[in-house]
Chains A and B, each alone.
Chain A
Amino acid sequence: MKKTSRRDFIKISALGAGGLALANPVLNWVPGFLPKEKTPVDESKAKRFPTFCEVCFWKCAGFTYLNEEGKIQKIIGNENDPHSNGRFCPRGTGGVGMYYDNDRLKYPLKRVVENGKSTFKQVSWDEALDFIAQKMSQIKKDHGPESMALLYHASSGSYFKHLLNAYGSKNYAKPSYAQCLGPREAGFVATYGSGVSSPEPTDVKNTKCLVLIGNHVGENMHNGYIQEVSDAIDRGASIITVDPRFSTVASKSKFWLPIKPATDLALLLAWIHVIIYEELYDKKYVEQYTFGFDQLKAHVKNNTPEWAYTKTDIRPEDIRNSAYEMAKAAPAVIIHPGRHTTWYGDDTQRSRGIAILNALLGSYGRKGGWYFPETKKVPSYPAPAYPHPHWTWKDITKPTYKGAGTGISNDLIKATLPSATHEHKIKGWLIVGTNLLTTIPDKELTLKAIQNLELMVVVDTMPMEITGYADIVLPECTYLERYDDIRSSQHRYPNIALRMPAAEPRWESKPGWWMARELGLRLGLEDYFKWKDVEEELDWKFKQMGTSLAEMQKIGVKMFDKEKDLYLQEGEERFFNTDSGKIELYSLDFEAKGYDPMPVYTEHKQPDPDFYRLIYGRAPMHTFGRTVNNPNLTDLMDVNSLWVNPKVAKIWGIEAGQEIWLKNQDGVISSFPIKVRVTERIRHDSVYMIHGFGKMDKRLKSYGKGIDDSELITNVKIDPIMGGTGMRENFVTFVLKNPHNEEVKA
């Protein structure tokens, strides 16, 4: 019997590196890499290489420019790219800092035990890859290939996915589903027969009214989206923002509805009530395209604005007037689906409410509402058919979460626990570009699962909390140093983009495609990797699409002709991929699966006295924990703060700028303190912080700066339909004196 080794966290940069010598990195150039010469780059003469951004998942295309010394200087948007329109956001512009960050992962590392203590040893690529291949072969032999899982959230994930498929497993998951946009996908699939996907096909630039429910665009810099919001403001479109916090976009809204948290569905049902009972809905559209109107009408009969007022704190007249505003703009109105929607556990039903309201106003498939996007299909390089796995994530997840659309990361983690009762057990994890410990709530559970693994490989560019638990750490070069798979994402026009390296990988870092291929060869899967390098593979694919690698290296982005209409045509017959073939206001699929066929409001817990709901969000210059060590972006924000309403601060006697610790409802105390920002911009019953700070690795520049909200998220509300992790039902109280003092003395 194999004895599983116990994993301790190993601090990666404890190996020592030149970059650590910088005493005050904020005030210094990175020596040796940035030019001393202060003359700006002449763009007409400078060398440039096409890329698309990897700092967030909007994937804007642009060009990486080199300076006269041949070093990376700046990244500028590609004017032909519909994601960026030639303008990068602060993170994309500051992406150069990812390349120049001296805290990066530099060499392949292997976990070894020395003197009874786990430590990382620098090893050769051959040793690291041979080890992984040998372990993967063993897992295949002992448990079947299905016991290997891939958890990923990086562009290079596509090559690892190909590897896993060829190896015989379909157990892959992205946290972007179950920890982020999954509920809205499930809600829209149930309503329209297809999900929302990214970039959202919302016709913001033509809209007359944009409704945002907890969506903080502008702080969340999804580039093409915020650009269109700005255009809409220019055109005089009205914005309705529902948020307990006076967000940036709330300040630009005609209506800001400062809702009591966790009551959004009550507001949505009241809006639906007003639209139906005051006959403001699009009668022709509803009759032609929807199913279940009469049931819906009966269902929301009692959901009056007066009823909703008692739940939401939003006055009935504000609910009515904002509904009239939407109806006036219809069909050029968007009730935006949001992106991060895993809040309270009934999130799929809230997203259903959003989908239904759009349908009543006739905005889906209409100008200024939702357009029908198109995606260019990217062919696969010729390879044999993948082996057929005996079981997949569906066998783990689907019996419980029948509405799940992709692998559920937290479910794959549960299937790794020794207590997993079913026969579908996971024994190995390939983790590519995602810091599971801060991404997936309930860290203790993830740590328990890790102890039960026979193989854990982490591929990343930076040391993260998760890398410390790996058997093997593979340093990936940054997106500015590598090719990746072709970007083909939905938009008004089908389009593709190329990412190519602008510099050699620093230290011994390597691109993900290379690692996946090398592992494939070692696993006897050479038939699946018949290309000698990625250039050959990409060129073949580009040529099938009527272009070539050589052409794409010049232009970066290529647009294709549309094959379908952007909007519904007058009176057009249209089939929706639902059970009824129509837009389902009443979901037959949910009914059959035993879920509420129409959304029902449920009460959620509100904070006890002295506790405040923990709300987290994004800052425009950061993407989760991925950017908080980036020297260009920490220049703009190097620590998060805790937003506290002045009345609350007064009760506690807390001053602006004071450092406090937080304790949650389960007694978990934050590892680090956080500075208080006393501001009117937050409700009295909530506190707010930017997600991604509070890094645990001492050798990162970002160590201990602020609080990591995810360590305080221990109450996880699982969505019964799609399995997502609701994270907004956690409450914190303030700890004014250092609760870790004793530890410090010891």
Chain B
Amino acid sequence: MRYAMAMDTKKCVGCSDCVVACQTENNVPHGYCRDWIVENVDGTYPNLELELRSERCNHCDDTPCVRTCPTGASHIIEGGIVKVTHVECIGCGACIQACPYDARYFHPDGYVDKCTFCDHRVAKGQETACVAVCPTKCLYFGDLEDYNSPVSKVLRERKWKVNAPEAGTKPQVYFLI
């Protein structure tokens, strides 16, 4: 099993619903977020292009965050989901430095927090909170090893890219272009 996410930049309107839904689902405190929106504008008026992306932890295959964690708090669970065990985290911040995607933050309660691919929902067969809420349905989630999963299907049919492939982390969040 290998969980992955795809997000369609052609449909995303950058509304940030994924961000709020994650906050209310996962009790992310105000002022912090586990996912976020990036806006890229190219060109000069009136020859312009705009790309909007909903970004989060890439749940990489090769995980510098897990490698650098001195306590084992950062770890990988079934399906390749990268998680942090809060009680084992000493807040040293090594993983934050190691992550090329700036996907982790210091929770005010003293540990490092990040996207969990909503594993508590996925375990029950639900979609992640961001996927479930997205009004444009631009987010796809599923098992890459399942040929018929929404994410496998859309990655077969569409062109895609990943963020910072040069970091060599084999990120598992794909951007449809």
A-side interface residues toward B, CB under 8 Å? 25-29, 34-35, 37-41, 43-44, 73-77, 86-90, 93-94, 96, 218-219, 221, 223, 226-227, 229-231, 233-234, 246, 248-252, 256, 258, 620-621, 631-633, 635-636, 645-646, 679-684
> Is B46 close to A, CB under 8 A?
yes
Q: State whether B136 touches A246 (Cβ < 8 A).
A: no
Q: State whether A38 touches B137 (Cβ < 8 A).
A: no
**B121-173 with Cβ < 8 A to chain A:** 121, 124, 126, 132-138
**B41-60 with Cβ < 8 A to chain A:** 41, 43-46, 48-50, 52
> Is B75 close to A, CB under 8 A?
no
What is the distance, in angstroms, from A681's C-beta to the closest C-beta of chain B? 6
Kindly report which residue of chain A lies nearest to residue B52, judged by CB atoms.
A248
Residues of B within 8 A of A74 (CB): 21, 24-25
- Say which residue of A26, A39, A89 sits within 8 Å of B31 (CB atoms): A26
Q: State whether B50 touches A635 (Cβ < 8 A).
A: no
Given contacts A87-B133, A226-B136, A680-B43, contact A246 B17 (CB under 8 A): no
Q: State whether B134 touches A684 (Cβ < 8 A).
A: no
Residues of B within 8 A of A223 (CB): 135
The complex places the Cα of A96 from the Cα of B30 at a distance, in Å, of: 12
Kindly report which residue of chain A lies nearest to residue B126, judged by CB atoms.
A43
Given contacts A28-B30, A29-B29, contact A249 B13 (CB under 8 A): yes
**B1-48 with Cβ < 8 A to chain A:** 10-11, 13-17, 19-21, 23-27, 29-31, 33, 41, 43-46, 48
B-side interface residues toward A, CB under 8 Å? 10-11, 13-17, 19-21, 23-27, 29-31, 33, 41, 43-46, 48-50, 52, 86, 108-109, 118, 120-121, 124, 126, 132-138
The complex places the Cα of A43 from the Cα of B133 at a distance, in Å, of: 14
Q: State whether B16 touches A27 (Cβ < 8 A).
A: no
Residues of B within 8 A of A621 (CB): 15-16, 20
Q: State whether B45 touches A40 (Cβ < 8 A).
A: no
What is the distance, in angstroms, from B140's C-beta to the closest C-beta of chain A? 12
Residues of B within 8 A of A679 (CB): 41
Given contacts A90-B16, A636-B20, contact A230 B136 (CB under 8 A): yes
18 contacts between A and B (CB under 8 A): A25-B30, A73-B24, A74-B24, A90-B19, A93-B21, A93-B133, A218-B13, A230-B13, A230-B138, A233-B11, A246-B45, A258-B45, A620-B13, A620-B14, A635-B23, A680-B44, A681-B41, A681-B50
Residue of B15, B43, B86 contacting most chain A CB atoms (<10 Å): B15
Q: State whether A620 touches B132 (Cβ < 8 A).
A: no
Q: State whether B13 touches A246 (Cβ < 8 A).
A: no
Q: State whether A680 touches B135 (Cβ < 8 A).
A: no
What is the distance, in angstroms, from A536's C-beta to the closest C-beta of chain B? 33
Residues of A within 8 A of B15 (CB): 89-90, 218, 221, 226, 620-621
Residues of B within 8 A of A221 (CB): 13, 15, 17, 135
Q: State whether A93 touches B50 (Cβ < 8 A).
A: no
What is the distance, in angstroms, from A559's C-beta to the closest C-beta of chain B? 21
Q: State whether A87 touches B19 (Cβ < 8 A).
A: no
What is the distance, in angstroms, from B6's C-beta to the closest C-beta of chain A? 14
Q: State whether B31 touches A27 (Cβ < 8 A).
A: yes
Q: State whether A227 touches B136 (Cβ < 8 A).
A: yes
Q: State whether B120 touches A40 (Cβ < 8 A).
A: yes
Given contacts A27-B30, A234-B11, contact A227 B137 (CB under 8 A): yes
The complex places the Cα of A682 from the Cα of B136 at a distance, in Å, of: 25
Q: State whether B45 touches A632 (Cβ < 8 A).
A: no
Q: State whether B46 touches A246 (Cβ < 8 A).
A: yes
What is the distance, in angstroms, from A234's C-beta to the closest C-beta of chain B? 7
Residues of B within 8 A of A234 (CB): 11
Q: State whether A27 touches B50 (Cβ < 8 A).
A: no
The complex places the Cα of A300 from the Cα of B118 at a distance, in Å, of: 58
Q: State whether B44 touches A233 (Cβ < 8 A).
A: no
What is the distance, in angstroms, from B15's C-beta to the closest C-beta of chain A? 4
Kindly report which residue of chain A lies nearest to residue B111, judged by CB atoms.
A38
The complex places the Cα of A120 from the Cα of B120 at a distance, in Å, of: 49
Q: State whether B16 touches A631 (Cβ < 8 A).
A: no
Residues of B within 8 A of A29 (CB): 29-30
Q: State whether A90 touches B20 (Cβ < 8 A).
A: yes
Given pairs A29-B30, A76-B133, A246-B41, 19 additional interface contacts (CB within 8 A): A25-B30, A28-B29, A28-B31, A34-B27, A38-B27, A39-B27, A40-B27, A73-B24, A87-B132, A90-B16, A218-B15, A227-B136, A231-B137, A233-B10, A620-B15, A632-B24, A680-B45, A680-B48, A683-B45
Q: State whether B20 touches A633 (Cβ < 8 A).
A: yes
Q: State whether B24 touches A219 (Cβ < 8 A).
A: no
What is the distance, in angstroms, from A196's C-beta to the closest C-beta of chain B? 21
Given contacts A35-B27, A258-B46, contact A620 B16 (CB under 8 A): yes
Given contacts A74-B24, A248-B13, contact A631 B30 (CB under 8 A): yes
The complex places the Cα of A74 from the Cα of B126 at a distance, in Å, of: 16
Q: State whether B13 touches A94 (Cβ < 8 A).
A: no
Given contacts A25-B30, A35-B27, contact A87 B45 (CB under 8 A): no
Q: State whether B30 touches A26 (Cβ < 8 A).
A: yes
The complex places the Cα of A90 from the Cα of B24 at a distance, in Å, of: 11
